[in-house]
Amino acid sequence: MVNRSEGMALLVAAVDQGSLSGAARVAGISLASVSRHISALEERLGTRLLIRSTRSLRLTEAGQRYCAQARRLLASMDELESSMQTDALEPAGRLHVTAPTLYGRVHLQPLLAQFLVQHPKVTLDLHLLDRPVNMLEEGIDLAVLVGEQPSSSLVARRLGSIRWVLGASPDYLARRGTPASLRDLAGHDGLVYSHSATEQAWTLMQRGKPVTVAMNTRMRSNTVDGVVSAAVAGAGIVHAPAWAIADHVAAGRLLPLLPECETPARPVFAMMTHQRLMAGKVRSLIDYLARQLRGKRLNDL
């Protein structure tokens, strides 16, 4: 009898790798075996799932539907096996994790590397993305989210928070003056960290209430290191996470401004689906991240 789950897994692997040979390499079997399994799967279903050529493959409409369901079924099978482990057993299996690009690169990647060292039976797929993800459809076990918790069916655990601050170089302030209030910011050059191509204002606090402050936008970037470097060079005032400018403040290259106008720190959440809530490997990773991030002084200047 044909192993249905094997054919399903090979189809998903072929799509992920972009070729049948890639799936064969990942599965450790011959290309002929992969082709035979997928052909048997198509024959059993009575429909074509893949359109193959010498250089590429793509899913048919039926293949797209089947592959999306297959990912969910394979993830459920993996979770079922993981849930059979007791808490005393070492976490094992593949984890699919996503996080914002910069936060993930600076803060999560070093922690995840240590987690893998501590748990040699765990394998990890990390995707650093600056876009919303559909955790169920994309097979994500854990998503780290910076900002307000979304209203959804996902389960959230707070990992920490990020303080955002204003800063500028001593040279810039000597030339343009040091702002004493939010009103003064309107006459200054702003260095904007945003993924929006049109954002030209910051939300700050005045007497306990949020206020939108517009400035002359000298530079906008979707990476925080770009605008921080411009601030160090003296190009304007930057609004950025405290951890992104802390070393420059300590070295005197940047000076913090208007701390009384800071907005409340932005929360950092670990998001998971109900289906993945009981998987031991997911629970172990969340507990580990919560411990490590609580110990990191991300908001000091």
Q: For residue 203, what is the domain's CATH number?
A: 3.40.190.10
Query: What pTM was estimated for this model as a whole?
Result: 0.61
So what's the pLDDT on residue 71?
85
Return the H-helix or E-strand segment holding 206. Answer: strand 201-206
Whichever domain contains 26, its CATH number is 1.10.10.10
Residues 59, 122 share a domain: no
Say yes or no: 60 and 43 in one domain: yes
Report the Cα 106 to chain-centroid distance in Å: 11
- Give me the sign of the Cα torsion angle 173, 257, 185, 227: positive
Same domain, yes or no: 158 and 168: no
What's the structural domain count of the chain?
3
Is residue 22 located within the same domain as residue 66?
Answer: yes
Torsion of CA 102, 104, 105, 111, to 10 degrees: 150
Ranges in the chain, pLDDT < 50: 1-2, 86-88
In a domain, 301, yes or no: no
- Are residues 127 and 174 both part of a single domain? no
> Phi/psi at 277 (nearest 5 deg)?
-65, -35
Taking only the tens place, the pLDDT of each residue in 286-297 is 989 998 987 666
Residue after which a domain boundary falls, among 82, 107, 133: 82
Q: Is residue 145 assigned to a domain?
A: yes
Q: Are residues 190 and 178 in the same domain?
A: yes
Give the pLDDT confidence score for residue 201 in this predicted structure: 81
Let me know if residue 300 belongs to a domain: no
53: tokens are 């050529």
Q: Are 191 and 200 a contacting pair, CB within 8 Å?
A: no
- Residues 79 and 141: their CA atoms lie apart, in Å, by 10
Instruction: Please check whether residues 222 and 255 belong to one and the same domain.
Output: yes
Question: Which residue has tokens 């590429």?
Answer: 56
Residue 26 has a pLDDT of 81
Residue type, 23: A
Q: Among candidates 136, 137, 157, which has minimal Cα distance to 145?
A: 157
Q: Of the candidates 123, 142, 159, 12, which has an alpha carbon nearest to the alpha carbon of residue 72?
A: 12
Q: What is the DSSP string of 31-74?
A: HHHHHHHHHHHHHHHTS--EEE-SS-EEE-HHHHHHHHHHHHHH
pLDDT at 1: 43
Determine, yes or no, domain membership for 233. yes
- What is the pLDDT at residue 155? 81
CB 165 within 8 A of CB 275: no
* Residue span of the structural domain in which 245 resides: 164-261
Cα R_g (the chain), whole angstroms: 24
Asked if the structure places residue 210 within a domain, the reply is yes
In a domain, 106, yes or no: yes
